[in-house]
Amino acid sequence: MAEPHQIQLKDHPKGISTLFLTEMWERLSFYGMRAILVLYLVGSLGLTDKDAGIIYGYYTSFVYLTPVIGGYITDRFLSYRFAIYLGSILMLFGHLSLAISKLEFFYLGLFLIAVGNGFFKPTISTIFGRLYLEKPNLRDSGFTIFYMGINLGGLLGPIIAGSLGEKVDWHLGFLSAGVGMAIGILVFYFGSHSLPSFVWKKETKDKQKQTSEVSVSLPSKGSNQSPPTFGNAQVHQEVFAKVSLIGLLSFFSIFFWMAFEQMGTSLNLFALRHTDRSFFGWEVPASLLQSLNPLMILVFGPMVSGLWMHLAQSKKNPNPILKFVISLVLLGIGFLVMVFAAREAETGVSVSLLFLVSVYFWNTVSELCLSPVGLSFVSKMAPVRFASLLMGIWFLSTAFGHYAAGILSGYQKEWGSMVHFYGFFVLVSWFAALVLYGIYLWKRKTIERLLLDAT
């Protein structure tokens, strides 16, 4: 196996650049639109924070629900290529609908983007993974590159759509997101021929069945062979324990996303209303701050990954449960900073931009301790028979978290004080961390044995 520092881009499968750029342009359009969504709802449509939060919550939760349905439909009825085109075109029409200044087209646009994402997102990730069927030792490195493409799009989208939407015209901002989606379709159309043919071929049902079955060898009747020490009952107990552990972390991830997604809602509005955004005589658009998170991921992601590798070499790398606990603690620190910012803002002054920069820093480090860790954990821990279902449950928990984030964001003005509002997320994050850590200590031996078996 090649050492990480010896791996070069030319070693990766042909076609990686096509999928990298396709995903980058799609994420540019998605995060560009997301950056101005709540600002448009309250600034142009005149909705209350509460109503805007409800719409945001429904939309973002639907975005994470549709991949479960779209992935199921694609696996059984559609070709991978058709699913990518279908999802891309639906999202393109969705962004173009948002560019039309009529309310019915606005809601149609949100619906089309969410449905299109359901076909596009799981399929392109599947295709990217299949690129490495013949080079499995490079898969982790490849997905790191793919993740960089996602965050590069997330960095550029708010800069382009946010600047146009806030400074020129909201619908021009939405249109720019549509242009990004159109470029992504063209990149895929002209570049997909470079992908090897085997990535488009699905496994046969017989092969899927064989790989999904858990078989236990039992002695025949009358045989002198000793009974196995790992019988059917123990198999079911092991499966139940693994599924329960995935369910546990999926549940606690709801508390993370519920707070983290305030970046697109209440923190976005705080930036608009209560933050001094002047920078050398230029007023930074509030939506532009949505680029801080992907920028910090690009900067700090390799550092956090390197830290885990360093700790692993000395056998001090925290297990996924403890990383979740750390994530929730760091998340609470970020919102504690917001408590101080809110206290200053309620005196009537515009607070320093550094407050939000600090909040986004803590949120980003928290994300790096939970989101990629959770995905890796589910993929390794899930019994093969239930792998897709359990990954779906993980994304469903993300959907629940986004829905709760949108609903709660509307109460920023209704809790009597923004200090109380942001303090709520501090208490919830730290309480969730404490409970999860308590469960870990209670079932430590069982959890560590399951984690060891999964490695």
Instruction: Kindly state whether residues 289 and 435 are assigned to the same domain.
Output: yes
Give the C-alpha distances (Å, rounded to integers) separating 9 from 15, 17, 18, 214, 238.
11, 10, 13, 38, 40
Tokens representing residue 111 in the block:
């619906």
Instruction: Kindly state whether residues 126 and 248 are assigned to the same domain.
Output: no
Give the C-alpha distances (Å, rounded to integers) separating 442 from 92, 428, 435, 445.
50, 21, 10, 8
pLDDT per position as a tens digit, 332-354: 999 999 999 999 999 999 999 99
**Residue count (the chain):** 455
- 125-128, Cβ contacts within 8 angstroms, sequence gap of 24 or more: 126/71, 126/80, 127/19, 127/80, 127/84, 127/195, 127/199, 127/200, 128/16, 128/19, 128/23
Q: Which residues contact 402 (CB under 8 A, 6 or more apart)?
A: 57, 60, 61, 63, 64, 257, 261
- Residues of the chain predicted below pLDDT 70: 1-9, 140, 203-231, 233-235, 384, 387-389, 454-455
pTM for the full predicted model: 0.84
| pLDDT for the residue 314 | 87
Is residue 6 assigned to a domain? no
pLDDT per position as a tens digit, 205-240: 444 444 444 444 434 444 444 444 445 766 678 788
3-state SS assignment for residue 16: helix
**Last-in-domain residue among 202, 223, 247:** 202
Report the domain count for the chain.
2
Give the span between the Cα atoms of 154 and 98, in whole angstroms.
19
| pLDDT for the residue 5 | 46
| pLDDT for the residue 231 | 55
Is residue 353 assigned to a domain? yes
Instruction: Kindly state whether residues 146 and 273 are assigned to the same domain.
Output: no
| pLDDT for the residue 193 | 87
pLDDT per position as a tens digit, 122-151: 888 888 878 888 877 777 677 778 888 899
Is residue 219 assigned to a domain? no
Q: 349: domain range?
A: 234-455
Q: Which residues pair with 275 in a beta bridge?
A: 351
Instruction: Kindly state whether residues 186 and 75 are assigned to the same domain.
Output: yes
Is residue 227 assigned to a domain? no
Instruction: Kindly state whether residues 197 and 248 are assigned to the same domain.
Output: no
| pLDDT for the residue 208 | 44
Instruction: Kindly state whether residues 314 and 414 are assigned to the same domain.
Output: yes
For 108-133, letters b (16+ CB in 10 Å) and e give bbbebbbbbbbbbbbbbbbbbebbbe
For 239-256, letters b (16+ CB in 10 Å) and e give eebbbebbebbbebbbbb
Instruction: Kindly state whether residues 191 and 238 are assigned to the same domain.
Output: no
CATH number, domain containing residue 35: 1.20.1250.20
Instruction: Kindly state whether residues 273 and 380 are assigned to the same domain.
Output: yes
| pLDDT for the residue 7 | 52
Q: Which of 29, 170, 30 is nearest to 102 (CA)?
A: 170
Instruction: Kindly state whether residues 179 and 58 are assigned to the same domain.
Output: yes
Give the span between the Cα atoms of 274 and 363, in whole angstroms.
20
